[in-house]
Amino acid sequence: MQGTTRNAIAPGMTVDIVLKKDQRTRTLTRGVVAALLTKSPTHPHGIKVRLTDGQVGRVKHIVPGTPGQAG
């Protein structure tokens, strides 16, 4: 599932994000969402989130079957 819609992401969900330093290589980092930082309902490059370990990046994928995920 893509991470471009704010309604699809909630704290506690496991996601794959791209950190600012990894934008060129598109290396993904997996973690649990602590807070949503993007205020708009959508963003073409992914919703910016802070993970529970403090890392900040844009969501590229939502890991299926994580708590808080619809459907």
Fold of the domain spanning 6-62: SH3 type barrels. (2.30.30)
Question: What is the distance of C-alpha 45 from the center of its chain?
Answer: 11
The answer to whether the pTM exceeds 0.85 is: yes
Cα separation of 45 and 54, whole Å?
20
Residue 71 has pLDDT above 70, yes or no: no
pLDDT of 70 reads 53
Token pair, residue 18, equals 């791209």
pLDDT of 66 reads 64
Beta partners for residue 56, in sequence order: 50
**1-49, pLDDT tens digit by residue?**
788 999 999 999 999 999 999 999 999 999 999 999 999 999 999 999 9
